[in-house]
Amino acid sequence: MLVAGMGDVEDDEERITAALRWRLVLGRHSERALKLGELADRAGPSGQQAAAVDQTLTYLYDREFAKRGHRRAGAGQGDGLSVPAWLAGVRVLFPREAVQVIERDALARYGMTELVTDPEVLGSLEPSVDLVKAILQFKHLMTPPVLAQARRVVAEVVEALSAKLRAEVRPALYGPTDPERTRPVRTFRNADWRRTIRRNLKNWDRERQRLVADRIEFRHRQRSRLAWRVVVAVDQSGSMLDSLIHSAVMAAILASLPAVTVHLVLWDHRIVDVSADAHDPLAVLMGAQLGGGTQLFPALRYCADLITEPERTVVAVVSDWYVYDDVDATVALAQELSAAGVKGLGLCALDADGHADYDERFARALAGAGWWVGAVTPRRLAEHVSQFLGR
């Protein structure tokens, strides 16, 4: 029926183009009805390009048949392609935005682990947060050469993300960067005597041999800061990849603050204290072991044991709150910490697009225990932490 309809088109080139587009929409099962082989032969260069596009898309999206239980999956014109050849074709035939979508589907939707286990393929991929997530999921399959390439990719993405987050959170954590926007406290300790003398030389009293200062100059000095302890406990179960990446970077930013000691704890049904690497998000991410069960009580108990001065401690727990242990005991412990003076933050999981996914009932229970609970951006998190730190 489609072919008969296209027979009315006088321009043969338009007919061929339309048929090839229908082939891309309907898939390989429409090939016989559309007489694709005959049309592509008559189309010349445009037909060859359309056939290449079809082959490239077929190589990936025919995998949908496998997901739906069909016995024949991945067959068609995509047969015979290698992953590097397929990836090269994607880069040539599609604009950059489409390439990113196709690569993301290949990794997340169809599990093409070759993209992160082949050094040639991995080296040709565009570094992105999605690629980092795939690397973290499949790094246990990587050989040493591939792992070295993966570390370079993760390092590049982490560096870019760090720069972005630092720019976002700097006003909250560090205060204004322009010294003209804030005046120093007018105290004896902050007096700038050199500048005061220089500014008042015109007021030298020759008769009395003394300087009459009509204006005292002051300058900013390093304020004394009382030490704070910030404990960041991140759920590393399989659904928490986006939050884990951002949390590792935020922990490094917090660790750079003066008079702040940062503990970074990764947890699922296990507890891994990576505080020694809190300043290095690359080491944290490449060492993370993903996919365990979500047992919060032991992790919160471990964090509680790190506390020496409750009133100068912030405990930030990042999770989707789908916990599989004793909820009542966990909430009771959280309430105990709050009553002791600990500033508790319950940070609900956010994906890369800022969408929240968490167990609302547990989040409400944690809020009822005296914790601040919410799904927030890194900037909002920094604002809350800075309030606790007295900045």
Predicted confidence (pLDDT) per residue in 97-117, tens digit: 788 788 878 877 887 877 778
List of residues 6+ apart from 121 with CB closer than 8 A: 83, 84, 87, 114, 115
Cβ-in-10-Å burial (0-12, 13-18, 19+) of 247 comes to buried
pLDDT higher than threshold 60 for residue 204? yes
Tens of pLDDT, residues 114-126? 777 888 888 888 8
Q: Which of 370, 389, 253 is nearest to 312 (CA)?
A: 389
pLDDT higher than threshold 90 for residue 233? yes
At 10 the pLDDT is 43
Averaged pLDDT, 164-193: 67
At 100 the pLDDT is 76
At 206 the pLDDT is 80
At 164 the pLDDT is 85
Share of the chain above pLDDT 90, in %: 27
At 224 the pLDDT is 46
Averaged pLDDT, 65-69: 61
**Token pair belonging to 349:** 């999981």
Averaged pLDDT, 171-192: 62
Q: Give dist(CA 238, CA 288) in Å, integer.
A: 11
Tens of pLDDT, residues 319-340? 989 988 899 999 999 999 999 9
Cβ-in-10-Å burial (0-12, 13-18, 19+) of 136 comes to buried
At 104 the pLDDT is 79
Q: What angle do helix axes 378-388 and 144-174 make, rounded to 10 degrees?
A: 50
pTM above 0.75, yes or no: no
At 232 the pLDDT is 94
At 174 the pLDDT is 63
Strand partners, 314: 230, 343
Per-chain mean pLDDT for the chain:
78
Name the segment(s) of the chain with CATH classification 3.40.50.410.
Answer: 228-388
Please answer whether residues 135 and 128 qualify as being in contact, where contact means their C-beta atoms are separated by less than 8 angstroms. no
CATH number among 2.20.25.10, 3.10.105.10, 2.30.30.240, 3.40.50.410, domain 228-388: 3.40.50.410
At 306 the pLDDT is 95
**Comparing 282 with 16, which gets the higher pLDDT?**
282
